[in-house]
Structure 1
Amino acid sequence: MLRLSPLQVRQKVTIDDIFSEPDDLGLLVVEPLKIYSPTGNLPASRLEEINAFYVVHGRPPLPDSEEFKETLLAQRLRVLKDNKQYREMLQPFDIHGLLAGENNENTLASSVSFSVPPVEVDRSELVTSLDDIFADDDDGLLSFAEPDIFTLKHVPIEKKTQPDEIAKRQPCPDFYRFSPLFETIQNGLKTGTFSFVRFRHELKIHEGDFFILNGVMGYVDKVGERLEEYGPWNARLHLVFENGTEMNMLFLSLTHGLVRDTEGRKVVLNGQSIRPDEAPVPTGYVYVLATHSDQLALQRFKPDLYKIGFTEGTIEERIKHAEKDKTFLEAPVRIVMTTQCFNINTHKFETLIHGFLGKQRLNITLRGLDGQTYHPREWFHAPLATVLSVIKYILDGTISQYRMDNTTGKIVAKKDTGHS
Structure 2
Amino acid sequence: MAKSKFTDEDDLLLAELGVEIEVKKAPKRTAKEERIIAGFEEIQRFFEENSRPPLHGEDRDIFERIYATRLDSIRANKEAVTLIQDMDHQGLLVADNQVTETQATYDTDDELLEALGVNTPQEGDVNFLKHVKTRAEVRAAEEIATRTFCEDFETFAPMFELIQKELKSGIRDSLLIPKNVQKLPEVKQGDWFILFGQKTYIANFSKEKKFGYDNNDYRLRVIYDNKTESDLLLRSLQKALERDEGSRRIIDHGAGPLFSNTQEDGDFESGIIYVLQSRSEFPYIKDNHQVIHKIGVTNDSVERRISSAKDDPTFLMAEVEIVAQYQLFNINRTKLEALLHRFFEDAKLSVTIIDRFGKPIVPREWFLVPLSVIDEVVEKLKDGCLSDYRYDTKSAKVVEI
Q: TM-score, normalised by structure 1?
A: 0.31
Pick the structure with more helix per residue: 2
- Bigger Rg over Cα: 1
| Structure with more contact order per residue of length (Cα contacts < 8 Å, sep ≥ 6) | 2
